[in-house]
């Protein structure tokens, strides 16, 4: 067999040939008298061989076959089967006492293979039942969420279109990364970026054009912690706050996600802090972690490349790596946008 089996030999007399035959096949053999068989058959025993008179065999098999802990425990009797009807708790197999030891071993191995397959089917059935129940719960939750968000779809349609364009750009950038990531890592990074965009939508209120950055930062940080499975050991704090138009907030979500992802994946940080300050002319974001820190030249990894490009091109801001006693401190300054004047109709020519 592929795996060794613990076999319990039950008899009042030694069975050296049978014990040696099991040992030669790599199985773990234990011996017990009929009186001690039930106690000796612990949960590690996968098969029991009883060599005794029929009455003793039935007396031993009954409690072994009816114990709740081991409903699939195979029992082999080395005595000819009694004539007439046999009770349900009888041994699985009756073999004559003169059966060759090698044949007994092969029959026990066959029964154990069947029982292992049955146990695995029971386990898989239970797992499938749990998955079916979970799928039902997820379906109900998705249906409720769809009903709750249906009224907002028209209002958010143009925002979603902009986010999809940003997501496409991020995926294209990851696809053409100079040094490709392993598939699972690339998927985790993509999921974190997608969740940062979802966090922006969660932070938007109906009929609102501005986003509270503190709420957005908490949602982005929570999503990153969950994606990379570190929410139990990494602490993330957000201080301060400021309002920002939705389009600019989308770019901020991307920047925060990349900086927090770098702290979690590459710096092994245990604490990440986001500070938000604002005045009449500027919104300042500061992201600090206690990880390993960056080299003197942070380089051009895809994450930092995205941060630099978004800060410069989308936000019109500046990015700086400030000194920190431990870890990394990144400061981003974003000028407060000046509202554009509403478009005016071109003057109409005067009629002659």
6-52 pLDDT, tens digit per residue, is 899 999 888 899 999 998 988 999 999 999 988 888 888 889 999 99
CATH topology match: 6-121 vs 177-335: no
Spans of all domains in the chain: 6-121, 177-335
pLDDT at 2: 53
Distance CA 154, CA 160 (A): 10
The residues with which 212 forms a beta bridge, in sequence order, are 243
Q: If we measure between CA atoms, which residue out of 68, 80, 46, 57 comes closest to residue 10? A: 57
Give the mean pLDDT of 272-281: 91
Q: How confident is the model at residue 277 (pLDDT cuts 50, 70, 90)?
A: very high
pLDDT at 228: 81
Give the mean pLDDT of 45-64: 89
Its CATH architecture, for the domain 177-335, is 2-Layer Sandwich (3.30)
pLDDT-wise least confident of 9-13, 112-116, 155-159 = 155-159
Q: Percent of the chain beyond pLDDT 70?
A: 78
Distance CA 229, CA 264 (A): 10
Do 190 and 198 touch, CB atoms closer than 8 A?
A: no
Distance CA 309, CA 305 (A): 6
Which CATH superfamily is 6-121 part of? Response regulator (3.40.50.2300)
Distance CA 321, CA 309 (A): 15
What are the tokens at 300?
Answer: 């051009």
Helical packing angle, 16-24 and 101-149, nearest 10°: 50
Q: How confident is the model at residue 339 (pLDDT cuts 50, 70, 90)?
A: very low
Distance CA 36, CA 264 (A): 57
pTM: 0.46
Task: Using the Cα atoms of residue 107, residue 113, residue 119 and residue 124 in order, give the sign of their dihedral.
Answer: negative
pLDDT at 274: 94
pLDDT at 341: 40
pLDDT at 237: 92
């Amino acid at each position: 067999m592929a795996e060794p089996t613990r076999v319990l030999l039950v008899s009042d007399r030694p069975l050296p040939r049978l014990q040696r035959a099991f040992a030669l096949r790599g199985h773990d053999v234990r011996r017990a008298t009929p009186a001690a068989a039930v106690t000796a058959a612990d949960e590690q025993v996968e098969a029991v061989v009883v060599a005794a008179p029929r009455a003793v065999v039935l007396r031993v098999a009954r409690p072994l076959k009816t114990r709740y802990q081991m409903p699939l425990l195979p029992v082999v009797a080395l005595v000819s089967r009694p004539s007439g009807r046999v009770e349900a708790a009888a041994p699985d197999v009756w073999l004559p006492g003169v059966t060759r030891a090698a044949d007994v071993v092969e029959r026990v191995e066959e029964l154990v293979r069947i029982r292992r397959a049955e146990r695995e089917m029971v386990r898989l059935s239970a797992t499938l039942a749990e998955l079916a129940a979970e799928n039902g719960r997820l379906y109900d939750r998705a249906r409720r969420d769809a009903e709750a968000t249906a009224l907002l779809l028209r209002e958010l349609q143009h925002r979603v279109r902009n986010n999809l364009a940003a997501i496409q750009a991020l995926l294209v950038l990851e696809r053409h990364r100079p040094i490709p990531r392993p598939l699972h890592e690339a998927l985790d990074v993509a999921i974190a970026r997608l969740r940062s965009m979802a966090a922006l939508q969660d932070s938007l209120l109906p009929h609102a054009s501005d986003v509270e950055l503190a709420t957005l930062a908490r949602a982005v940080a929570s999503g990153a912690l969950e994606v990379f499975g570190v929410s139990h050991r990494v602490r993330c704090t957000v201080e301060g706050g400021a309002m920002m138009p939705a389009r600019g907030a989308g770019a901020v979500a991307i920047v925060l996600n990349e900086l927090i992802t770098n702290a979690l994946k590459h710096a092994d940080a245990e604490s990440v802090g986001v500070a938000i300050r604002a005045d009449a002319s500027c919104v300042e974001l500061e992201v600090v972690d206690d990880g390993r820190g960056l080299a003197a030249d942070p380089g051009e990894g895809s994450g930092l490349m995205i941060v630099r490009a978004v800060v410069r091109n989308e936000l019109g801001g500046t990015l700086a790596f400030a000194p920190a006693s431990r870890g990394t401190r990144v400061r981003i300054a974003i000028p407060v946008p000046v509202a554009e004047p509403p478009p005016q109709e071109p003057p109409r020519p005067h009629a002659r």
